[in-house]
């Protein structure tokens, strides 16, 4: 075999799994269809990723390069109500901060780190065919930019192809999430108003009738701004620059934040991104990161879930290589763990689109440590903690009660919008 492992995709999940395996002395090849650096969203990271950066050995390359993020805040459209969740105030210990990153640079740092660890990386190299035979190994056919094709062989194949989800798409395993058929329209701005000091890097999640906005401060005076809403709300409108400008003008909080700002990137849009794969592993193959599942970005879980899957995926692949056992059942524990983790945040995301859930986020209770437990979830800490899970279950019970009983002040505009 040319390699022990072939990885499809060089984003955070792919570069991380490649680095971890290369650090163990494995021969790893990464085939990435694009040329880095390239624009990407998913710029707001979670504190729970900080220990992963440290263990990967890449943290010194990130510190000082990107803007620190100490909290997330939820804001009403007119800016009259704000609730800030400082990560240091969570129920459990852990890193009190994360980073707000320009993904083009961040992803490049991680991919370069994989090369330094010993991984072989080819860019503008598209995997066009693959074959996984339990008895023989795996092979992939890779097409380079000039159209030439080459075949490569390995013991294991890891799909980290992101939202293109190569293996699930080809194998008919991809399932869309019908209750989260959303779209996003977004761009970057310079000279937007922002806080100072420790609060400068806070992500603002702005609640509007049709969905929510992200406002993510980046370094060099840049701010990422985007609207996420159900696709059915478009009603034939095209989510272009005029659409984005009109929606900003209808949101007083954003009007104030962007009063002196100018757009410095093209307006981009994506849609229908929430899905999962019916299987996360098979004979000699494994899915990590977005290729296995992607949920709505409201809680900034993308990079964290991708890197967590990469760390755990690298561990089970390493064990499979040592034992020379590559059957699907070998990866059942990995699959179950990742499904539980994604499920925790999927429940939170689905709840977020209901007014009763958003109302409790704006007016959290400190009774029994509920607010601190929610803070831990927002930071990515405590996903395996019984104490956090118990309090989160109680939070969901209060959400259901709040549907009928006014436990906290109402978001009347959002309720009226949902009713219509």
Q: What is the DSSP string of 272-290?
A: ---EEES-SEETTEEE-GG
Q: Which of 137-146, 257-266, 338-347 is the least confident region?
A: 338-347
Per-residue pLDDT of 55-70, as tens digits, reads: 999 999 999 999 999 9
How far apart, in whole angstroms, are the C-alpha atoms of residue 304 and residue 45? 7
How far apart, in whole angstroms, are the C-alpha atoms of residue 195 and residue 136? 58
Identify the CATH number of the domain in which residue 203 sits: 3.30.9.100
pLDDT at position 414: 72
How far apart, in whole angstroms, are the C-alpha atoms of residue 125 and residue 8? 10
pLDDT at position 99: 97
Across the range 99-104, mean pLDDT stands at 96
> pTM for this structure?
0.93
Clarify whether residues 110 and 237 are in a common domain.
no
Residue 309: phi, psi to the nearest 5?
Answer: -60, -35
- Whether 74 is covered by a domain: the verdict is no
Clarify whether residues 109 and 55 are in a common domain.
yes
Domain of 186? 182-271
Clarify whether residues 163 and 117 are in a common domain.
yes
Clarify whether residues 226 and 197 are in a common domain.
yes
CA 129, distance to chain mean position in Å, is: 27
> How many domains is the chain built from?
3
Clarify whether residues 22 and 108 are in a common domain.
yes
Contacts of 176 (CB under 8 A, 6+ apart): 272, 274, 275
Average pLDDT, rounded, for the chain: 93
Q: Are 47 and 380 in contact (CB under 8 A)?
A: yes
Across the range 255-272, mean pLDDT stands at 94
Model confidence at 419: pLDDT above 70: no
How far apart, in whole angstroms, are the C-alpha atoms of residue 98 and residue 44? 8
Task: From 285, 310, 341, give the residue that closes a domain.
Answer: 341
Task: From 271, 294, 309, give the residue that closes a domain.
Answer: 271
What is the DSSP annotation of 333-390?
A: HHHHHHHHHHHHHHHHHHHHTSHHHHHHHHS---GGGHHHHHHHHHHT--TT-HHHHH
Clarify whether residues 52 and 120 are in a common domain.
yes
How far apart, in whole angstroms, are the C-alpha atoms of residue 388 and residue 11? 30
When pLDDT is cut at 50, 70 and 90, the band that residue 132 belongs to is: very high
């Amino acid at each position: 075999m040319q390699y022990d492992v072939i990885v499809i995709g060089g984003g955070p999940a792919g570069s991380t799994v490649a680095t971890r395996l290369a650090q163990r002395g494995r021969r790893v090849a990464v085939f990435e269809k694009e040329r880095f650096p390239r624009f990407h969203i998913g710029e707001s990271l979670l504190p729970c990723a900080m220990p992963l950066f440290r263990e990967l050995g890449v943290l010194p390359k990130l510190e000082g390069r990107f803007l620190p993020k100490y909290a997330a805040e939820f804001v009403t459209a007119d800016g009259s109500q704000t609730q800030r969740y400082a990560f240091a105030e969570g129920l459990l210990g852990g890193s009190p901060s994360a980073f707000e990153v320009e993904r083009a640079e961040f992803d490049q740092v991680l991919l370069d780190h994989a090369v330094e660890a010993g991984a072989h990386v080819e860019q503008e190299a598209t995997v066009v065919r693959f074959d996984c035979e339990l008895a023989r190994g795996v092979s992939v056919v890779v097409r380079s930019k000039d159209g030439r094709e080459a075949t490569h062989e390995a013991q294991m194949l890891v799909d980290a192809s992101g939202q293109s989800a190569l293996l699930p798409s080809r194998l008919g395993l991809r399932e869309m999430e019908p209750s989260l058929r959303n779209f996003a329209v977004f761009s970057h701005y310079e000279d937007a108003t922002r806080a100072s000091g420790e609060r400068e890097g806070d992500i603002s999640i702005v609640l509007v009738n049709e969905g929510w906005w992200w406002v993510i401060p980046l370094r060099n005076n840049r701010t990422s701004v985007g609207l996420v809403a159900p696709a059915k709300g478009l009603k034939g409108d095209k989510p272009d620059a005029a659409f984005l400008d009109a929606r900003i003008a209808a949101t007083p909080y954003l009007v104030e934040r962007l009063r002196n700002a100018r757009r410095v990137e093209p307006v981009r849009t994506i849609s229908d991104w929430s899905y999962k794969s019916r299987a996360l592993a098979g004979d000699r193959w494994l899915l990590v990161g977005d290729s296995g599942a992607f949920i709505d970005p409201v809680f900034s879980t993308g990079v964290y879930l991708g890197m967590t899957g990469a760390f755990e995926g690298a561990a089970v692949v390493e064990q499979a290589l040592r034992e020379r056992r590559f059957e699907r059942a070998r990866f059942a524990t990995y699959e179950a763990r990742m499904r539980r983790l994604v499920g925790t945040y999927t429940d939170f995301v689905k709840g977020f689109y209901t007014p009763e859930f958003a109302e409790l986020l704006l007016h959290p209770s400190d009774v029994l440590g509920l607010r601190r437990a929610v803070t831990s979830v927002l930071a990515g800490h405590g996903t395996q903690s019984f104490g956090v899970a118990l309090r989160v279950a109680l939070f969901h019970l209060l959400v259901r009660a709040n549907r009928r009983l006014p436990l906290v002040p109402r978001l009347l505009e959002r309720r009226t919008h949902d009713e219509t």
